[in-house]
Amino acid sequence: MTNKSLDFYLFDETRSLMLDWSPRFNIIHGIAPGILYLHQDSCLQIIHRDLKAGNILIDSDMNPKIYDFGLARRFVGHDTVAKTKKVVGTHGYISPEYAVHGHISIKSDVFSYGMETIYKEGRSIELMSASLHASCVVFEVLRSIHVALLCVQHHAEDRPTMLSVVLMLVSNGSLPEPKQPAFFCEESSYEHDSIQSVDEHTITIMYA
């Protein structure tokens, strides 16, 4: 793609200055309906399993394109959840139920989408890069972070569907209060809960 991938900008101090708030907000809004199409509107229900900044390509008009379906999983009929002993994806973007128990569902992709932000103690705006202060719309920033936090809730059933995510992003209505994000709670249980086999060679290490 003309403008490479999202991580090309986000994880480089100099190049991140090239991406002000408007195109970032456009990218947030563009990815969500793309995932919704895979989950609900495609003739096949597809779970990407490796949604991350490096797999979001940016075209000449700064529109995002979901890329790399090498790890994607297709669901058939009325199946909504699957279990696997082979966990694939990128550390930091993998949902806890998938990483620990091998449970994969559309909520796994929702979690990965939400990880691309986070807030705490009412200081959400402090997460924003200083380079965005001049171009940002505070309401849009705060709402995007709030929606992202809803996506990364620890339990899959507490996360919204991508349809709800799309609707929340385009509306001005009130949002439910997010619970504690995943991996920040119940850590003591992880040493006892593990899937039988994990292929470490299929998990990409994320460098921020």
Residues annotated as part of the active site = 50
DSSP string of 108-161?
A: HHHHHHHH-----TT-GGGGS-GGGTTT--HHHHHHHHHHHHHHTBSSGGGSPP
List the beta bridge partners of residue 105. Answer: 81
For residue 188, what is the DSSP state? Answer: G
CB 169 within 8 A of CB 142: no
Report helix, strand and coil shares of the chain as percent, to nearest 5: 45, 10, 45
CB 46 within 8 A of CB 68: no
Residue 161 structure tokens: 């569907």
- Which parts of the chain fold into alpha helices (H)? 6-10, 21-36, 96-101, 106-115, 138-151, 162-170
